[in-house]
Structure 1
């Protein structure tokens, strides 16, 4: 909002467009510049929904995607419980479509397990990548595989929500 990025989205919206709204990762961290209080976070989501609908476009709320965090017993731990719940509540109160990416990405991480889930994130050994000569252990940002798996979750939800958009998504094998 402060960087005025939302306004350019609204200004370019057309009837029939979809707006996928996903925030929370940085908004919930009090030490980050982008920290947003719970009340402001909800107000912003409602504003995005209202302004999207005013342009006859369809808003879709998405909970924050899970970070890779397991307890000592190997059980995935939620890292966005408060802000994910805020998104769910706003979706319910505003009768807005919801993709619960937090829950579904946690399920995926649990399926992969403690060690294999590292494949989904930016986990690099020293010398493995020129941008990270000392290596990198990042449990927030995805590898290409992780990004693709999260995108697959969103795509599955687009289809299960029966959005018209689903009919326009093709795989390379069916693209003409």
Structure 2
């Protein structure tokens, strides 16, 4: 929720987080979480930021989607429903994982970012390419710094919730979440969205 820190308080804009951990574009819809988000939050004029991909890669049937078929189909539902409510959809490609090989950050999201870019162009939806932007940021900061300071790479014996430590290449520490939120704010400006006037980088 650190993105809210980039909103000018005088704007009156409110950031509402309808995300749910572990969901894919498919399971978020199938579990009626999208219905709840529409009912509880969605109003005309809103901006709906839509980002899926990591959990769409999972192999279980409840979550898995194919990038250029079912993934795009579920994203299309979110886009069309948002527009039907006279609101504004924005697609965000999934952020990079901290997966490195011989010192080089790997593209670990398969075809999902490309599939979202293709759909954004087809449906004329604004796109914030978080995959490209996070890969650039993490590559600049380097493997060791990125893993130890941005992602959940935690040593054993330091944190009570992780007594044995953890090496999580997907989920972010607070510092990482703040960096990614800043990239979203910058992406709003690059995409020339009307709300850019209310967003502070």
* TM-score with structure 1 setting the length: 0.91
Equivalent residue, structure 2, for 1:23: 52
The counterpart of 2:126, out of the listed 97, 101, 104, is: 97
* CA deviation vs aligned residue, 1:135-175 (integer Å, no higher than 9, x gap): 1111110011111111111110112223232223358xxxx
Q: Is the 8 A contact 2:185 2:200 kept in 1?
A: no
Alignment RMSD (CA, Å)? 1.5
Q: How does 1:34-113 map to 2 (within 5 A)?
A: 34-38=63-67, 39-72=69-102, 74-113=103-142
Q: Is the 8 A contact 1:99 1:157 kept in 2?
A: yes
Displacement of 1:31 in angstroms is: 4.2
The counterpart of 1:7, out of the listed 25, 35, 51, is: 35
* CA deviation vs aligned residue, 1:52-87 (integer Å, no higher than 9, x gap): 011111000011110001111x11110113011110
- Looking at structure 1, the residues matched to 79 and 32 of structure 2 have their Cα atoms a distance apart, in angstroms, of 17
Query: 4+ residue stretches of structure 1 with deviation over 6 A?
Result: none
Aligned to 1:81, what secondary structure does the other structure show? coil
Displacement of 1:14 in angstroms is: 1.1
Change (3 A) 1:3 1:80: same
- Looking at structure 1, the residues matched to 59 and 88 of structure 2 have their Cα atoms a distance apart, in angstroms, of 31
The counterpart of 1:126, out of the listed 146, 156, 159, is: 156
- Looking at structure 2, the residues matched to 63 and 50 of structure 1 have their Cα atoms a distance apart, in angstroms, of 18
Question: Which consecutive unaligned segments of at least 5 residues does structure 1 have?
Answer: 172-176
The counterpart of 2:172, out of the listed 122, 139, 142, is: 142
Aligned to 2:196, what secondary structure does the other structure show? helix
